[in-house]
Structure 1
């Protein structure tokens, strides 16, 4: 387990973190029974299982809490379950000993399956490579095979019209396969949904980041084509929004919950005026027609942090925190949003780099998080509103390149030193020199 700790001038934040950290760690099942996989609870509290969608969404919080072994074991277990007989769908749920959850599986032709889960697994597993730098995430044979099959074999198996996008059964029956994570929409089933398309786009970009040569070009080209076609075909200017999906009757511009908000969350809607109008629509719909299930809200901070609507992200994060719901996804994602979300962390441990971009709302003056693990680096990061960010590297295998924002300056930060970085300024360090550093005689352990 990690020593992750949080301090802030806002006591509410500290209380929320303390609750979420303890609650999430209470869900760990690794040593609670003989034969258990390294695992944690990920699904309804009434069901002793871990679900694909939930594990994907809990994985960042789990990493921050030191549960890398659990993330690897569970995500690989799902990858192994995607077989030709199951038409390359991973299974939906397992018990902690790795056995199939019969509740969601009645045979290889009749089990719960939702298209976004196929690509979400690839996207989130490769995200763990970004956090850990652990080459098992790209070299493990089962995971490596799954990544390729998710974007190649799965698509070929389910793409009936040859447009490079897999279609669902169109029945709305989750045991026959649906297009979306939005299970509330069985009365208006989609063939293709925004969240399926967005996760496919995210998976292709994630693969391009770790691939070489022709594969990298191939994945990038496919991702770019998906986005180009989406931006050109799924927009309705009179409605000022993108469609939530495509049914047998054509594009559907209704409110799609996950099918709507996954699109900006994963960047499929790009940037600019259309994206901003779409986010306006999303905010209006959330206010007027919020989801019925609390776990659906756990995605919203990620959506709005990505597009710098930090006050909106904070509003929905507070909503999730205030629920104190026992659903495991709540506590794990609260940890993620309080740390990675508010601090704007984008790690690339394999390249010894980290981007930090403060998303503190007006209500929070400063936030300090201790013992953030990025690969083998142990960090303390303090954000003073939007004015400055202070980074301490307690330990690590060498220099860590840190950037402020997506286009900010780079600096090398040596273990035991604290660099106080102001947007627009650059601190460059070389051995024996401390230019640009705030003195830190001994980094606090």
Structure 2
């Protein structure tokens, strides 16, 4: 561990010299130090592109030299910020290409640098570990990466479209995941025969949750949320590709899963969601609520606030905590988000060297604190500074939507520039209610929206020409 920390510090201090990924600077010295450490660790986890698997980064226990579907789905945006685009494309294609009927439309849960299923999770095609959320989480990751990068291969390459179609159809049927089967499905569908409950390659071949410590779990609310978000993403992809009927069908399917969450999983007595349902027909609570927010599956604002309050009051392992910076920023809990950034990057934090942590800190700062949200489907980039009053911050050299952007937040002003060949839409957003926002000293009427914590956000949308700085200011 000491070796990892030293390398991380060295890489963090020379991130500019690496000429890879975005450069972040801020007058908030604690956050600056957190980013330097996290960006350095991301580069440290970058694998050798000459390895048999091709370009990759670690997204599992470091000693395994491997990447896991759940971890990769979480780490992709942090990786993109740090310039690991080739790695993202290669790793996601590796997962998509290995979906197979002989594995009941599962892929490999974990692939190592030798291009093989990691032996820690795989014995053969009938005996292996697999969390059923993974296919839907990866589908969501592909959609997010398209929106972030503008790379249409994530939503149009045949290896991905095949994965999407099999996941949304055969996979759901094979694992009995239809909306009306969530409580009545077998405990171990597609189990090896003879079945050995003591062998975790038997009982965990198709876990119905990312939470792995509940005996005889039949369904996890996090899996339902993952299916909802995966199908919603697939609907958006179909819409973008002009497949209107398919888009409507997937959106209708997705809605049924979301409705199941609110109809059956809310515990009105404890004012929180149940997280699991077992073979005895009993609901229970534990981990898993994080994914209701990660997959944006909650439309009831009061319940999402209750869920946030519960999560922020708890103590979680570093994997779960690494989701909190970006979630807290997006949900409107800005000070808490900053505390999680600092907590995760603190040398005293147990297991902070787990790869998800550094990737999550990077994403939390750029997407969360800086509020940079590209959307290639809309041809728009949003900015919103969520930092402390009096601080300034900037991101330079950030590759998004086939261009490179620079964003500088200085108090009541944001300066935006991109190097692309065509103008794009810039949504300049600011905290608080402002009737007018000055763009290049010309007053524009603002529009408003509220985050889930009730904070009012004012914004305008303007055409940002290529290669020219444009500024937006509030009084």
TM range (shorter): 0.7 to 0.9
Q: What is the correspondence of 1:268-283 to structure 2 with a 5 Å cutoff? A: 268-283=297-312
Aligned to 2:98: 81
Matching of residue 410 in structure 1 with residue 461 in structure 2: yes
Matching of residue 344 in structure 1 with residue 371 in structure 2: yes
Shift of 1:214: 0.6
Matching of residue 320 in structure 1 with residue 344 in structure 2: yes
Matching of residue 181 in structure 1 with residue 210 in structure 2: yes
Aligned to 1:10: 28
Matching of residue 392 in structure 1 with residue 417 in structure 2: yes
Among residues 10, 35, 46, which one is paired with 1:28 in the alignment? 46
Equivalents in 2 of 1:271, 1:355: separation in Å?
24
C-alpha change, 1:282 and 1:153, in structure 2 (3 Å) is same
Q: What is the correspondence of 1:416-427 to structure 2 with a 5 Å cutoff? A: 416-422=467-473
C-alpha change, 1:175 and 1:209, in structure 2 (3 Å) is same
Q: What is the correspondence of 1:82-231 to structure 2 with a 5 Å cutoff? A: 82-159=99-176, 163=180, 165=182, 169=187, 173=200, 175-183=204-212, 185-187=213-215, 189-211=216-238, 212-231=243-262
Single out whichever of 242-251 and 18-27 deviates more from structure 2. 242-251
Shift of 1:3: 4.4
Equivalents in 1 of 2:256, 2:53: separation in Å?
43
Aligned to 1:432: none
Shift of 1:253: 3.8
CA contact (8 A) 1:114 1:177 kept: yes
- What TM-score do the two structures reach when normalised by structure 1? 0.86
Shift of 1:168: 7.4
- Structure holding more strand per residue: 2
Aligned to 2:386: 359
Aligned to 1:255: 286
Single out whichever of 224-233 and 245-254 deviates more from structure 2. 245-254
CA contact (8 A) 1:111 1:176 kept: yes
Among residues 254, 271, 296, which one is paired with 1:267 in the alignment? 296
Shift of 1:77: 0.6
Shift of 1:240: 0.9
CA contact (8 A) 2:221 2:261 kept: no
Among residues 46, 51, 57, which one is paired with 2:74 in the alignment? 57
Q: How many residues of Structure 1 are paired with residues of Structure 2 in the alignment?
A: 411
C-alpha change, 1:228 and 1:137, in structure 2 (3 Å) is same
Among residues 31, 37, 47, which one is paired with 1:19 in the alignment? 37
Shift of 1:271: 3.7
Matching of residue 44 in structure 1 with residue 58 in structure 2: no
Shift of 1:162: 5.8
SS of the equivalent of 1:163 reads helix
- What TM-score do the two structures reach when normalised by structure 2? 0.81
C-alpha change, 1:260 and 1:39, in structure 2 (3 Å) is same
C-alpha change, 1:63 and 1:156, in structure 2 (3 Å) is same
Equivalents in 1 of 2:170, 2:460: separation in Å?
41
- What residue ranges of structure 1 are gaps of 5+ in the alignment? 426-445
Matching of residue 299 in structure 1 with residue 323 in structure 2: yes
Equivalents in 2 of 1:311, 1:277: separation in Å?
17
CA contact (8 A) 1:352 1:399 kept: no
C-alpha change, 1:25 and 1:116, in structure 2 (3 Å) is same
Equivalents in 2 of 1:168, 1:305: separation in Å?
39
Shift of 1:141: 0.9
SS of the equivalent of 1:106 reads strand
